[in-house]
Amino acid sequence: MYLFAKAMHLVGVVSWFAGLFYLVRLFIYHVESTARPEPERGILHAQFVVMERRLWTMTVIAMGITFTFGTYLAVVYLGKLQNKLHMATWLLVKLVLVVGLFAYHQTCGAIRDQLTEGRCRWTSSRLRQWNELATLLLVAIVMLAVFKTTFSALWGTLGLLVFGVLLALAIKVMRRRLAPAPGRGDRGGSTPPQPPPQTAATSPRGER
């Protein structure tokens, strides 16, 4: 039963995070679609509402699976420790992170409701930043579950955070370098020289 619960817990965690990642990505596309003209904007809005509702339902189910089997695993683990509860510090920190993940989940639900009602004030750039928060929570929770020490999980999360920041900066610099400079393609806005019009003497018909 323990191994089955552990497997189901992992399935729930993977499905939960996958749903959250894709859900926020749908939010980004949904917000960007509001700049489209009608009737395209209305068609996209209706389509995104349906996709977000279905994905939200699957995400809630995955969260329920995670909580159900995760609670069972925590009870079994604490029962084995008995008088060595000081060794479960990592588990308490993990529970705090899970509470933060639940708050993240509920915020996504509020954003979905706002988008459905057409009163969302989140920008696409802000939603992209919001999506990275789930990544940090995922890394921290996995580090704690694997190493079972707060110190190792902290350094692992910080290391990945620094790597992500450096990678984002490198991508931003490369995009700036690859972007064409304004006015380079048309040389200051001047139109390219046009070929002279054909006359009767130069046209193929005139040569006959």
Could you tell me if residue 143 is inside a domain? yes
Of 22-31, 39-48, 181-190, the poorest mean pLDDT is in 181-190
**Which of the two residues, 93 and 83, has the higher pLDDT score?**
93
Q: What pLDDT is attached to residue 189?
A: 46
Mean of the per-residue pLDDT values of the chain? 82
Could you tell me if residue 186 is inside a domain? no
- pLDDT over 70 (residue 56): yes
Q: What pLDDT is attached to residue 190?
A: 47
Q: What pLDDT is attached to residue 57?
A: 96
The CA-based angle 134-135-139, given to 5 degrees, is 115
C-beta atoms surrounding 127 within 10 Å: 21
The CA-based angle 167-171-172, given to 5 degrees, is 115
- pLDDT over 60 (residue 13): yes
Could you tell me if residue 207 is inside a domain? no
Q: What pLDDT is attached to residue 206?
A: 46
- pLDDT over 90 (residue 10): yes
- pLDDT over 50 (residue 155): yes
Average pLDDT over residues 52-57: 96
Could you tell me if residue 119 is inside a domain? yes
Residue 15 structural domain: 2-178
Task: Retrieve residue 87's tokens.
Answer: 């060794």
Could you tell me if residue 86 is inside a domain? yes
- pLDDT over 60 (residue 135): yes
- pLDDT over 50 (residue 166): yes
Q: How does residue 203 score in pLDDT terms, banded at 50, 70 and 90?
A: very low
Average pLDDT over residues 169-174: 76
Could you tell me if residue 123 is inside a domain? yes
- pLDDT over 80 (residue 181): no
- Structural domains of the chain, count: 1
Could you tell me if residue 11 is inside a domain? yes
**Which of the two residues, 166 and 125, has the higher pLDDT score?**
125
Could you tell me if residue 96 is inside a domain? yes
**Which of the two residues, 144 and 51, has the higher pLDDT score?**
51
